[in-house]
Each structure stands twice: as C-alpha cells, then as structure tokens.
Structure 1
Amino acid sequence: MAINLQQISARLNFYMRIKELDVYQLSVMTQTPPAMVGCIVQGEEYCMDDLLAFLKQLPDLNSRWVIYGEGNVFKGEGDAHPEAHLKKDRTAYLSEMQNLLHQLEEIEKHQQEQTHLDQLRNRIRELTKHI
C-alpha cells in the first residue's frame, strides 16, 4: 500500500482541527521541531522514521488512520467514552469529516488524472519512436 503525503497531511490537519491545535502546539506536545511538524502538516517530503517518531508522541491518535486511512481517528474510539477526545459538538465533527473526505477524494482524483496523463505521455513517446 503506497503512502500518500497529501492524504497524511489532510488527516493530520483534521486531527489538529478537532483538538484545536496549531503547528507550534503540536510541536511542543510531541517534542518535535516546528519545521518538521510543518513539513508533515503541509505534506512536504520527510523521512518516515520522523513521521513514526512524531506519531508515537500522540497516544490518542490512531497512526494507522493517519498513514493509511484505516480505522478511527482516535485509538480506543470504540471505548465507552470517546467524547473524552472531542471538544466540539458532533455536528461540527460530521461537517469536518465531510470536508476531509472531499479533500481526500480530490487528492485521489488528481492522482488518477496524473496516472492517466503519464500513460498518455508514454504512449506518445512509443508512437514517436516509430516516426
């Protein structure tokens, strides 16, 4: 399964909105340099070891959800009191989740379009070889 930095960024931004955190606060919480947190949050290039070390410092956040989109946002969300993780009402979270899903769909659509463009470019290269 390929890791997509833009999707990780979108999911992490969703988590930050839920927890009402900014990059600096997240940096302090995780004891991670602000520049590294900024790279992760913005979907820029970074080392996966840095991402994993960063995620280990967020014990309530489900790292599989961040990386692969699998499971729930929070670890143990199936527990009796998931509200302990939440600061806003559920309607606001549903709206945020819809926005996140839309962002992820746009990222996926863009990737599919890019793949199609790459296939067309390769086909053109193959055809021009015979000219």
Structure 2
Amino acid sequence: MSITNGFGGLSRGQGGAREVRSARPVTSETIIPPVLYLPIYIGVEGQQSVVVREQATGTRALLAFTALDRLATQCGNEQPWIMVQTQSLGYIKDAHPFDVVSFDPRIDERLVRDGKML
C-alpha cells in the first residue's frame, strides 16, 4: 500500500484487499475510484490518524472523498489528508477500526474552523 499525504510525504506498506462496506448501497452502476482522499488529524508528535466518526446508528464511519476538491470543499483548504488505494482500505481498517466507508460525506460547517475540521 502506498499512502501519499497532502504534504508530499510517502509511506510504504503492503497492498491487498480486505472486506470493507460502504455507507451507501453499491449497485452495478456505482463506480468506486482506484484511490480515495482521507482527511486526517496530525497529533502533537506528528502521528497521523484517519477520521472515523460515530453515526447516529452507532456505526463507525471512515470519511473518504473521491476527489481532492470535494475534500477541500467539505473539510476546508487547510485540512491535512492522505491518498490511499481503495483496495488497501482493509489495512486502514486494521489500524483504525470502522464499520462503513462514508463516501463524499457532507460535513457540518460548524465542525470546520480555520480551514480544517475540528
């Protein structure tokens, strides 16, 4: 798996598929892109963590965007992000457990400040 972040960094790992469910039903007309843009938080010591939010139903959703401009529109222009191969989401799930993937979610503007999510 290759992970590229918005700052030009590159991390390497192993590729491969694991089972991951979508928050929206996937039909034969649904096109899943080969890469996704994931908003991340960067800790005080530089560690990166993807954004997983608990939904009203109690499921944990990984926030994922199918295009960088969609991420910037919803999360803000200063939001740190990583790009991942869709087939590698299982490895993300191992490190940051989630139940579903929320593609191109709408982010409440009250959760964005100074160009990034709170």
Shorter-chain TM-score above 0.5:
no
Structure showing the higher helix proportion among its residues: 1
TM-score normalized by the length of structure 2: 0.28
Structure showing the higher strand proportion among its residues: 2
Greater RCO (Cα-Cα under 8 Å, separation 6 or more): 2
Structure index of larger Rg: 1
TM-score normalized by the length of structure 1: 0.26
